[in-house]
Amino acid sequence: MIDLHTHSNASDGTQPPAELVAAAAAAGIGTLALTDHDTTQGWAEAAAAVELVGVDLVRGIELSTTHRGISIHLLAYLPDPDDPALVAELRQTHASRAERLRTMVTRMEEAGVPITYADVLAQVDGPGTTVGRPHIADALVAAGVVPTRDAAFEWYLRGRSGFYVPHYATPVLEAVRLVRAAGGVPVMAHPLAAARGRVVSDDVIEAMAEAGLAGIEAYHHDHTPAQTAHALDLAGNLRLFVTGSSDYHGTGKVNVLGEHTTTPEVLAQIEAEATSGIPVLRH
Ligand code: AMP
Ligand code: FE
Ligand code: FE
Ligand code: ZN
């Protein structure tokens, strides 16, 4: 099985990269991509861990991007992690995420929600971690305010909750070009998952394809059958390849490893299109 979209505690997954790799091996995953939000911090630990368990590793990132206020997640496979433009962009997103976290928690404190900024930081597993709403969710769970991350999103963290503050994200066409310039392969994550919030119209995906998008994640937990069918249609029309992945976040989401998978042919295409010199680690 090939699962090309997972998270560790370098972003909002609940397991360290080595534990994620062990879980993947136990789940029968042969090729795993680590795609933490806006960071490559987990790459080194994952690379060391796959040596031990014999899983193949695709190093990636899930970039936060935007188009006219709509959030778009862009998977970048095998980019050069030292590409200066990519590094600068990730820094900017990180700085904005940190500031926004503080602002959101301040709003909650002012409204009498019983958590502090320190409570939220206590849920973050180390310096350099990409911080986000899931860490606030974990603090709300720890304080007994809500039972689960899901409930925290439903009641406190969603866009219209009154506590929500956006963060900087890269304009999507710029992000597609940035990933290609860093030698990576850009794939649009969960392109039509309206359950997550507003999604872009087909013409934006067409513009992304013109900018260098390589594929779309048609098979995803948050897609209805109709949304998957629509994604497959788009892929055919725009000559994009199709992936399927779990978007596993450990215990942070119900998604399970290998619940959607990608074909070996598409994996080979990703590897062939990458020009960064970052290989798929094989065992
Ligand atoms: P942020 O990037 O900080 O705005 O937070 C968005 C992240 O929260 C996404 O990457 C998801 O992984 C996570 N997320 C969104 N909705 C939920 C939910 N209902 N339950 C758990 N995690 C969620
Ligand atoms: Fe996430
Ligand atoms: Fe995503
Ligand atoms: Zn994801």
pLDDT tens for 67-98 read: 999 999 999 999 999 999 999 999 999 999 99
Task: Please give the C-alpha separations between residue 204 and each of 67, 89, 207, 258, 259, in angstroms, as whole numbers.
Answer: 8, 21, 5, 29, 28
Residue ID of nearest Cα to ligand 1 atom 2 = 132
Ligand 2 centroid to Cα of residue 37, in Å, is: 7
What's the chain's average pLDDT? Answer: 97
Residue 44 makes CB contacts below 8 A (sequence gap 6+) with none
- CA-247 nearest atom, ligand 1: 12
Beta bridge partners of 248: 6
Model confidence at 102: pLDDT above 90: yes
Ligand 1 centroid to Cα of residue 245, in Å, is: 17
Average pLDDT over residues 131-142: 98
User: Which of helix, strand or coil describes residue 170?
Assistant: strand
Beta strand pairing call for 215-219 and 241-244: parallel
CA 60 vs. chain centroid, Å, equals 9
Amino acid (one-letter) located at 96? S
pTM of the model: 0.98
Calpha distance 144→165 (Å, rounded): 23
Average pLDDT over residues 241-266: 98
Backbone φ/ψ region at 150: left (φ over 0), alpha (ψ -120 to 50), beta: alpha
